Structure 1
């Protein structure tokens, strides 16, 4: 186990020497071959981060991104074999990376991008059908005590920065010059069939969805959302959640 630990440590740290136990089949110096292998491993992990965080890459440029990603790779090696899961710690790393401090919104943009990856790979769960929804909504006297279950892909991210607009601008949906990055925004991430959607929502809508996620009943969640955001449109949000298949179950209080 110690040999394996030494190998991994040397693989991710260019300051370490090639492990002494290594040898090559033809008697050549193994250090040069190990250096090539080390470079290939680091490059593949940097490329994986570039694929997972394309908007972050565009915001800082390829050279800066790859230098930052390489520092991250050395400090945070993968914990699983699944490259799609690599990058969970990247947003927090960006937040504490001094050279990126002039872009305070960068970490939250990375959080949004990783939520999209998680949504894409989340489990499939059948949405409520029209008959089930009609049955639930036809009992208004029981709605306040009803709890709703959301699709596993559904997630909310609230930020002090314009994360939805920044993401949309880099999808060609709006001009980057129109974006005020210091404006707070709330994002709803949801996989609608095979497409992962990013939707800007009001503060009240974000609170409502988060409350449902924690198991709060419908009435309590709506009351909290309206208290902080009087313009929160519950009917509009429910229509969107229903149309995108985000509602997967419900239970009435006994």
Structure 2
């Protein structure tokens, strides 16, 4: 969708004399009456034509939710996902023409459904799928070379901050969210174990890559995201793991093209 729902309806031949809020409310909920003042190009009350249009919009948005959250849809089953998508689109109709980002509220929405309390991981699986989608559509950025880090004296390197690529995403969950996602996307993947996982998402080329981090590695990267220096981030990670080695997370960032700037003080 590249327009508001109201503008799209007008282009499709429904002349409207209603406000956007009333139109959207009726469009998202089949139980609502056709808005007063909604007519076709001949000036006749929209009636049946609006019902057909409303159904087409609901079907399109439901399909968009299946495409955006395929693992959640697989875990729930088609019928349950269809039902939840219907509830969601009524509560959260599109507010942006960029449908690639539709569903941003879905993780929190899932966590608020009491009937899904026994599937507590669903919200975080949705968060992971949303983060992967954001990473995929993020702007391109030119990564720095690894040599830029090695060229600095240790003190200067520890005092420096970094700029991260727009595609970088960090997700921390109390569930084995990466293992659940992988088990439902990769044939032969190991069955998830009941452990918390943190996931780093980078996009070195065209497709995002999710990788599991240790708690200390996740803390180090989170500190970098917050704008702390490399040394300050090390202190945060060291509070979790006394002998923390930044070798692995730094390698993941470099290999993932995630570091786009090295900012020295002074």
Q: Which runs of 5+ in 1 are unaligned?
A: none
Q: How does 1:6-155 map to 2 (within 5 A)?
A: 6-24=22-40, 30-136=46-152, 139-155=153-169
Partner of 1:189: 201
Q: CA deviation at 1:195?
A: 1.4
Task: Confirm or deny that 1:246 pairs with 2:258.
Answer: yes
TM-score (norm 2): 0.88
Partner of 1:179: 192
| Deviating more after overlay: 140-149 vs 197-206 | 140-149
Q: CA deviation at 1:231?
A: 5.4
Q: Which whole-Å CA distance do the structure 2 matches of 1:145 and 1:20 have between them?
A: 64
Q: Which whole-Å CA distance do the structure 1 matches of 2:41 and 2:229 have between them?
A: 66
In the alignment, is the contact (CA less than 8 A) between 1:119 and 1:153 conserved in 2? yes
Aligned in 2, Cα 1:217/1:27: closer, same or farther, shift over 3 Å?
Answer: closer
In the alignment, is the contact (CA less than 8 A) between 1:202 and 1:232 conserved in 2? no
In the alignment, is the contact (CA less than 8 A) between 1:168 and 1:174 conserved in 2? no
Look up the SS of the partner of 2:27 in the other structure.
helix
Look up the SS of the partner of 1:124 in the other structure.
coil
Look up the SS of the partner of 1:192 in the other structure.
coil
TM-score (norm 1): 0.92
In the alignment, is the contact (CA less than 8 A) between 1:120 and 1:196 conserved in 2? yes
In the alignment, is the contact (CA less than 8 A) between 1:143 and 1:218 conserved in 2? yes
In the alignment, is the contact (CA less than 8 A) between 2:18 and 2:35 conserved in 1? no
Aligned residues: 250
Q: Which whole-Å CA distance do the structure 1 matches of 2:165 and 2:129 have between them?
A: 18
Q: Which whole-Å CA distance do the structure 1 matches of 2:230 and 2:20 have between them?
A: 52
Aligned in 2, Cα 1:9/1:253: closer, same or farther, shift over 3 Å?
Answer: same
| Deviating more after overlay: 26-35 vs 197-206 | 26-35
| Deviating more after overlay: 18-27 vs 190-199 | 18-27
Q: Which whole-Å CA distance do the structure 1 matches of 2:56 and 2:150 have between them?
A: 56
Which of the numbers 220, 223, 239 marks the counterpart of 2:232?
A: 220
RMSD of aligned alpha carbons: 1.9
In the alignment, is the contact (CA less than 8 A) between 2:71 and 2:181 conserved in 1? yes
Q: CA deviation at 1:140?
A: 1.2
Aligned in 2, Cα 1:251/1:30: closer, same or farther, shift over 3 Å?
Answer: closer
Which of the numbers 174, 190, 195 marks the counterpart of 1:160?
A: 174
